[in-house]
A and B are shown apart, each in its own frame.
Chain A
Amino acid sequence: MKELLECLEKDHTQTPDQLAIMLNKPAEEIAALIKKYQDEKIIVKYQTIIDWEKAGVDNVTAVIEVRITPQREVGFDAIAERIYRYSEVRSLYLMSGGYDLSVTVEGTSLKEVADFVSTKLSTIDGVVSTTTHFMLKKYKFAGVIINDEEEEHRLVVSP
């Protein structure tokens, strides 16, 4: 049920009872569906989006373009797994175009990220080259504008 998943993706704190009313379905059916989606890992995880900069916590993020040599039988997957298992890696995508993997790495300092790239990532067998881009500012993440300055300007009462 696409509508339910869309509602949850937008705000997972809504209760099954409220979702049931909004989607015009029995509450038990909604609760059962949510459980099913969780069991089947269609709902992978519930997470909170935090503006760490505003929270005063220093973070450094880099997007690293990685070229690799695909391996017989497993293609890109085996190397990808060796990379995404690191806790420093926040996201990993196989890409079309000029490079193979897009790796997002997070650390507390520039040095920490640089160390990870030079000692961990680039030494993995099959990694041919890396190009590291440090992120300067986060404007939008997961469909959410981080510092949205649009305000409501409507009158309190209007016809």
Chain B
Amino acid sequence: MNWSDRIAPTVKAIPPSGIRRFFDIAAEMKGVISLGVGEPDFITPWHIRESCIHGLHRGYTSYTSNYGLLELREEIAKSLHKDYQVTYDPRQEVLVTVGVSEGLDLAMRALLGPGDEVLVPEPCYVSYKSCVTLAGGTPITIPTNVENEFRITAEQLEEYVTPRTKILLIGYPNNPTGAIMSREDLEGIAAFALKHDLIVISDEIYAKLTYDGTHTCFSSLPGMRDRTIVLNGFSKAYAMTGWRIGYAVSNVDFIAAMTKIHQYTMLCTPITAQIAAIEALKSGEKNVEHMVSEYNYRRRLIFNGFRQMGLDCFEPKGAFYIFPSIKKTGLTSLEFAEQLLMTEKVALVPGDAFGESGEGFVRCSYATSTKNITEALERIGRFIESIKK
């Protein structure tokens, strides 16, 4: 029996993750320095962990409302208002999700019908396209380039918009490029969304990790609140990746539709994570500041290192990734990553794992110690010298 024939065609058509194969090789090797990790190297701050333990002691082990604990939704609404002056009703316009990943899936499933098109600027997070496809939509990818610091512009989007376009999906600060969009940049996108009557899904999971200027929440732009679904969470800012907790905010109808799917598929986000998230929002700011300044030191260190190596590299302004071009070496992204891993035992992720326009680049995460960064830079420098010969 060939069981693979029974798998749904949509699922079958999705290519395997470009990162997966690489992970399997790297995981087996000893002495690897990894710049390939897409999560903080900090452990969740103790006060957050402690609040979860305390919650368990007090017997918080039940289901919660499908929307999530009201206290958490209130804290989310409060923090969005404080940071971006955008207002959401915690009772109807906030949904606590199992990370941004679930939020994205819910948003796509709630909004897309067959043939609906979603504009997806690339390079982008690995799940964007697949989420669209799994929800029955068609992803239309738009390459961004290093010359424009991997930002997207309305002019570019105009080339790809059709009468079937329903959603624009953006993710800034960006994984894998570290690009950010200024308020002015985003205003251009907002005007484009308005002109074509598009819904905007804005993945802002790296919002707090912005090193140059301040982050603008897309829904805080005039006229954008109701046509935007903002996805955010606790993974990156509070070092809570494994807790799997995030949230979606939007208008009442979108959140109700997403909650309908959430209640039948997930029911609710684990209460343990929700309790921890309340503590994170109530008193986590100092720790966030500390982590941001640490990432910023490392960002400068790794950026300087790549520049000294002679690699073309734009200065990342957000998240914890740097995306140097390796075109000068004459290798493809995959060849570069594989040969570097084999000869110098440094793991990083080939840029094409994040879309075709990522080819010729590699993603390096600087969510690791300065000692590791320094050692990795030394090894990469040695590797580049060796292939010149």
Contacts and interface: CB of A to CB of B under 8 A. Distances in A.
Given A18-B374, A21-B301, A154-B37, A159 B19 contact: yes
B27 A156 contact: yes
Nearest to A14: B370
B192 interface: no
Contacts of B39: 154, 158
A7 interface: yes
B34 interface: yes
A157 B18 CA distance: 11
Contacts of A53: none
A3 to B, nearest CB: 7
Interface string A117-159: 0000000000000000000000000000000001010111111
Contact of B126 (A23, A150, A155, A159): A159
Among A7, A14, A150, A156, max chain B CB count under 10 A is at: A156
A158 B301 contact: no
Contacts of B298: 22
Nearest to B367: A154
B34 A157 contact: yes
A22 B32 contact: no
A7 B300 CA distance: 14
A155 B24 CA distance: 10
Given A14-B370, A18-B374, A152-B41, A157 B36 contact: yes
A24 B299 CA distance: 11
B293 A158 contact: no
Contacts of A150: 43
Given A21-B301, A23-B297, A157 B41 contact: no
B383 interface: no
Contacts of B34: 156-157
Interface of chain A: mostly helix, strand, loop or mixed: loop
A36 to B, nearest CB: 21
B300 A21 contact: yes
Contact of A159 (B27, B38, B374): B38
Nearest to B353: A159
B300 A159 contact: no
A150 B17 CA distance: 30
Interface in B308-364: 347, 349, 353
B355 to A, nearest CB: 12
Contacts of B26: 156-157
Interface residues of A, number: 16
B22 interface: yes
B300 A155 contact: no
Nearest to A153: B242
A155 B37 contact: yes
A150 B347 CA distance: 23
A159 B365 CA distance: 10
Nearest to B296: A22
Interface in A7-61: 7, 14, 18, 21-24
B156 interface: no
B170 to A, nearest CB: 17
A3 B37 contact: no
Contacts of B347: 156-157
Given A3-B293, A14-B370, A150-B43, A155 B301 contact: no
Interface string B121-136: 0000111000000000
Contacts of B300: 21-24
Interface string B1-45: 000000000000000010100110011000010101111010100
Contacts of B301: 18, 21-22
B304 interface: yes
Nearest to A18: B301
A152 B369 CA distance: 12
Contacts of A3: 293
Nearest to A22: B297
A81 to B, nearest CB: 37
A14 B298 CA distance: 13
Contact of A158 (B32, B38, B43, B297): B38
Contacts of A7: 297
Contacts of B38: 158-159
B37 A158 contact: yes
Contacts of A159: 17, 19, 38, 125-127, 175, 349, 353
14 contacts: A21-B300, A22-B370, A23-B300, A24-B300, A154-B37, A155-B23, A156-B26, A156-B34, A157-B19, A157-B23, A158-B19, A158-B38, A159-B126, A159-B175
**A-B pairs, 7 with minimum CB distance:** A157-B36, A22-B297, A157-B23, A156-B26, A159-B126, A158-B38, A21-B304
Given A157-B23, A157-B36, 16 more contacts: A14-B370, A18-B301, A18-B374, A22-B370, A23-B297, A150-B43, A154-B37, A154-B39, A156-B34, A157-B37, A158-B19, A158-B39, A159-B17, A159-B19, A159-B349, A159-B353
Interface of A: 3, 7, 14, 18, 21-24, 150, 152, 154-159
